[in-house]
Amino acid sequence: MRWLALLCGFWVWTASAEVALVEQYRAGTDHWPAAETDPSVQAAPLARLPAEPPYPADNPYSTAKRALGKQLFFDRRLSGSQQLACASCHDPDLGWADGRRFSIGHNRQVGETNAPSIINTGYQTRLFWDGRAASLEQQTRASWTNPIEMAADPDTVVARLRHIPGYAPLFTEAFGDSAVDEQRIIQAIATFSRSLTSQSTAFDRFLDGESEALSDAQVRGLHLFRTKARCMNCHHGALLSDEQFHHLGTSFHLVGNFEGRYRQTGKPEHVGAFRTPGLRGIGATAPYLHTGMAGDLDTLLALYNIGWWQNAELKDKPDDIPTAQLSPLIKPLELKADELADLKAFLHSLTGDMRYMLMPEELPALE
């Protein structure tokens, strides 16, 4: 019976320690234990996003420009086939992503990567999985004219919009006159995209001092996120992203774009490295990773838990591309089932109302 008493005592001690830890977090951020990261990482504290993203000097915010951008964002007439809109791959009902492993573009072509959500992209310094765009204006034009995506010819689209009377007053309100040109189209769409932010989540309320905004399981998951689960090595700050590029092991499958940042820099260390996505809204944006290979959070966490694939040998890799090396920040976690459940619960606290901006009731008519 002594072993039973010892077991019960250990259970009571463990439960008491968990209660104390939860209460420590509920007392406010000043009382949180220190985050645990690798020596090479300088992690910013978890925080709220600024109230508004920065707007560039050459494309300042206006309500009218945002309203025009919203119409253009949902208008299929902006694509080469007139069958695709920006919203075809960035649907408000799907967390401003599209719910597919790989997006379907012009003439049913399959894209190379999973479409990331555009929520909070106004705060990012690099866009696309490989970071090839430095602004939403660059990103908008690249996707709009990409032959696999919207396959638009800007001159053709400009001429098309000039013949839609309903757009004239919208351009006038946004820019002072009714002239339609490529730059104005891009600026309006970028302004609308920049306005899509995730500010009201359970986690944000918890940061604000609403101590009961998170459940006990979510608080335990927050602690794991900051310590044992090693998430803070890459996911930190207000965006929950270091905005850097890391190879997790996905390129070992040679699926889609497996070169990653290497395409832009030519640096061997960037083979297979992709931008760290922010985690805000993660509960609404499955599937995950640039390949969409993780269909749900359970699968995603399981992959991290095993440490991915430790520098697997590649078959059929092109000889002119260096061999990818797994990020040194990726290591087996050995989390137990209850810990994975708590971590998943915390991740869900990072998702607020992702559907607050719906499709316009009607688009400008031809007459």
Compute the distance between CA of residue 69 and CA of residue 151 in angstroms, rounded to an integer.
19
102 contacts 114 by C-beta, under 8 angstroms: yes
Pairing of strands 245-246, 274-275: antiparallel
169: Cα separation from own chain's centroid: 34
Task: Please return the burial class of 336, using the count of CB atoms within 10 Å of its CB with bins 0-12, 13-18 and 19+.
Answer: exposed
Exposure pattern of 92-108 as b/e (b: 16+ CB <10 Å)?
A: bebbbbbbebbbbbbee
Rounded-to-integer distance, Cα 294 and Cα 131, Å: 21
Does 231 belong to an annotated binding site?
yes
Alpha-carbon distance values, 254 to 104, 178, 271, 275 (Å): 19, 48, 11, 17
Q: How many CB atoms lie within 10 A of CB 302?
A: 13
Q: How many C-beta neighbours within 10 Å does residue 268 have?
A: 12
Label each residue of 257-295 as H, E or C: CCCECHHHHCCHHHCCEEECCCCCCHHHCCCECCCCCEC
Tell me the CA distances in angstroms from 89 to 96, 99, 143, 170, 256, one per residue in order. 8, 8, 10, 24, 17
Q: Is 234 annotated as a binding residue?
A: yes
Q: CA 251: distance to chain centroid?
A: 19
Q: How far is 353 from 356, CA to CA, in rounded Å?
A: 6
In the numeric block, which tokens belong to residue 349?
Answer: 């606290």
Report whether 8 belongs to an annotated binding site: no
Task: Judge whether 86 is annotated as a binding position.
Answer: yes
Instruction: Please give the backbone phi and psi of residue 245, each rounded to the nearest 5 degrees, phi first.
Output: -120, 130
Q: Please tell me the distance from the alpha carbon of residue 40 to that of residue 327, in angstroms, as a whole number.
A: 12
Annotated binding site: 86, 89-90, 106, 231, 234-235
Annotated binding site for heme c: 86, 89-90, 106, 231, 234-235
